[in-house]
């Protein structure tokens, strides 16, 4: 192996000498770290913070001790005792109530927001811009400000219509449907604006009505944003706790969020194992719905946010 003298007197071997303009061998890892390697570090850190809570909940659900303080990443032994304790409660009733509220809210939100978005996107009327701006401004108010008003409204409504008043699933669904109109209508209107108006005009020339255009042309083309609104509405309804804890006081009407909270509140600190088991089961419907709608989600979020 030949050496090449340098000004400092330190010989450079053929292995480290630059060839054809390439940097020395010891420089390449440093350059790779500066240009590419740090990105892998950022991705690894993001994955860690995203996956660690989920892994910890799964581990706690199968930990027979039921204590978070003594929790290990891999429980020893692995047991289903937390699930057995959980199933001794009214868990399945709570689970069913949550599915009813979330499912009806998701379907109703999609339908109502689609109707409103179609009107705002395809029709021109007095007060259109003002009402759109009002919908957007209402979404900026924090939810805490409306809790007292909603509570008093449901009490007054229950005097005349007990079926949709306080402590009813129908009343809770009505609250969620009203709260979903703002942002979801804006998202859906932005997507509807990307659908060419020529399609509507061609259909109307052939004798189609607004109802036929809406159901046979607009909705099939708007499948991506419909999937996005469905998933977002479902997640909000199944994960919300504040509104549900205020409006639901009867154990038979509890949803998962309220039922699991009352379950651990009775003996705080000793029931975290069954609580994590319930939280794990509560995430299954969301994952299944996400997998079912996955092919529509990316395009729906992007296209619905481009135009308004």
> Quick one: 93 and 142 in the same domain?
yes
Residue 230, pLDDT score: 92
Kindly report, residue by residue over 279-298, the tens digit of the pLDDT.
Answer: 999 999 999 999 888 877 76
**DSSP-assigned beta bridge partners for residue 3:** 13
Q: 101: pLDDT confidence band, cut at 50, 70 and 90? A: very high
Q: How many CB atoms lie within 10 A of CB 157?
A: 17
> Quick one: 66 and 207 in the same domain?
no
Q: Which of 13-17, 65-69, 230-234, 248-252 is predicted with the least confidence, judged by mean pLDDT?
A: 13-17
> Quick one: 118 and 50 in the same domain?
no
Strands 12-13 and 3-4: antiparallel
* Encoded tokens for 146: 């409306």
pTM summary value = 0.79
Residue 111, pLDDT score: 93
> Quick one: 78 and 90 in the same domain?
no
Residue 281, pLDDT score: 92
3 part of a folded domain: no
Domain count, the chain: 2
Range of the domain at 295: 86-306
- Phi, psi (5° rounding) for residue 291? -65, -35
Kindly report, residue by residue over 18-27, the tens digit of the pLDDT.
Answer: 455 555 555 5
> Quick one: 65 and 188 in the same domain?
no
> Quick one: 91 and 141 in the same domain?
yes
C-alpha pair distances (Å), 277 with each of 41, 54, 271: 32, 12, 10
3-state secondary structure of 295: helix
* The dihedral formed by the CA atoms of 300, 304, 305 and 308, expressed in degrees to the nearest 10: 180
Cβ atoms 305, 190 nearer than 8 A: yes
Whether residue 211 is predicted with pLDDT greater than 50 in this model: the reply is: yes
């Amino acid at each position: 192996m030949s050496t090449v003298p340098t000004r400092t007197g330190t010989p450079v071997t053929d292995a480290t000498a630059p060839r054809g303009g390439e940097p020395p061998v010891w420089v390449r890892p440093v350059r790779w770290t500066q240009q590419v390697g740090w990105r892998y570090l950022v991705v690894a850190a993001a994955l860690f913070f995203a996956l660690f809570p989920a892994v910890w909940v799964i581990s706690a659900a199968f930990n027979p001790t039921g204590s978070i303080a003594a929790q290990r990443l891999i429980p020893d032994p692995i047991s289903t005792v937390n699930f057995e304790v959980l199933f001794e409660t009214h868990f399945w009733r709570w689970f069913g109530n949550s599915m009813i509220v979330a499912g009806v809210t998701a379907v109703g939100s999609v339908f109502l927001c689609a109707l409103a978005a179609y009107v705002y996107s395809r029709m021109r009327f007095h007060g259109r811009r003002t009402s759109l701006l009002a919908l957007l401004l209402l979404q900026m108010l924090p939810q805490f400000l409306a809790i007292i008003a909603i509570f008093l409204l449901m009490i007054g409504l229950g005097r005349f219509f007990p079926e949709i008043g306080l402590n009813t699933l129908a009343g809770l669904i009505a609250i969620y449907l009203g709260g979903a109109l703002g942002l979801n209508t804006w998202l859906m209107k932005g997507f509807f604006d990307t659908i060419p108006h020529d399609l509507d005009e061609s259909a109307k020339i052939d004798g189609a009505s607004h109802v036929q255009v809406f159901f046979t042309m607009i909705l099939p083309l708007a499948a991506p944003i419909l999937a996005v609104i469905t998933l977002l509405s479902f997640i909000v309804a199944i994960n919300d706790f504040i509104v549900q804890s205020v409006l639901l006081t009867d154990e038979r009407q509890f949803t998962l969020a309220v039922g699991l909270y009352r379950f651990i509140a009775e003996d705080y600190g000793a029931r975290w194992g069954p609580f994590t088991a319930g939280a794990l089961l509560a995430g299954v419907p969301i994952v299944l719905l996400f997998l079912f709608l996955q092919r529509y989600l990316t395009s729906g979020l992007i296209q619905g946010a481009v135009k308004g």
